[in-house]
Structure 1
Amino acid sequence: MTAEVREIALSKQDLREVTAFAAACAEAVLEMFEADQPGDSRPRAAVSAAWEFARGGERGKALRDTAWAALKAAKGARTAAAREAAWAAMSAAGAAYLHPLAEANQVKHILGAAAHAARAAELVADDDRSIGAGHLQLSVRRATPVVVDVLKRFPVAPSGGGRVGELIRVLDADLRSRSSGA
């Protein structure tokens, strides 16, 4: 018998705020993908679709399709940094699909774009972890009080996930320690 998972109250405005946060984080590294794959606009389209939803658009098939397209674009990237940048874009579009379930894995929908963007920046800088830490601090400043409140409704980020998982957990801890009134 499996334990029953508690549902978390999420409004459409909560989802829009989380998606705007994710889009801003991913947008910061789009050029890394575009330098690697100048003719491929799929990650940019995913970020644009995320912004459209965040600004009042619908959460429909087109948004989901752009996320899948960015994932496919990542597979064609020549560099690991470009791949991470495309994953950040995919995560931005996917943030709109945060599930209202009290599961630690849902934290990835909130913080995945920021973590992939930070990892992309590290890789461009020859795996300089201080560059990733700097990106995480920018993400902390980007997070609105609503984003922090939504994050705090979920369990802490799960273990695993390699370096991106580690970045998610660092960002999770930093945001949870931030005052709700920040």
Structure 2
Amino acid sequence: MFHLQAAKRVLRYLKGGVKSGIFFQTQPQSQVQLVGFSDADYAGDSASRKSHSGYVFCLNGAAISWQSKRQPVVALSTTESEYISLCQCIQEGVWLRRLFGEFGHAHTGGVPVFVDNQSAIALAQNACLHGRTKHMQPHDDRVPAADAGVLVLLSLADSMLWVAPTHGQGGVV
């Protein structure tokens, strides 16, 4: 009986979202605007103390690539948690930049990525060891922003875009 209720819930969700979709706005001179946003919560999982990372990339205002998952390591600070999330975001930004280059829409000035942690930005721009970051293990999956063609910018938390709901739609999105 539980599976039938779950199936009905999915069908109601789909029925309510029929008119919802991803809409791409046209830009003058066919200019493609790719923007990324990165965020993390420090030690959000109370059982394992692992943080949760997430990022989203928007193309002309519509989300085209996103990820949300628990980090594989236990971060010892908010800076480390945000930096791990930012590095995952930078990797995706590099891949999207190359993909759009293959499509003939090369980004000359880099892809802007917004994050709300100044220390994570400083680490991304200069990944040298500091007094409070010596414990951080260098991983192959962490890419310095300067080498990746990605512009890391500070964004206040309340000005970051709200992209999509994560729960059932209660109304118009």
Task: State the TM bucket, normalised to the shorter chain.
Answer: 0.3 to 0.5
Q: Could you say which structure has the higher helix fraction?
A: 1
TM-score of the pair, normalised by structure 1: 0.33
TM-score of the pair, normalised by structure 2: 0.34
Q: Which has the higher contact order (CA 8 A, sep 6+)?
A: 1
Q: Could you say which structure has the higher strand fraction?
A: 2
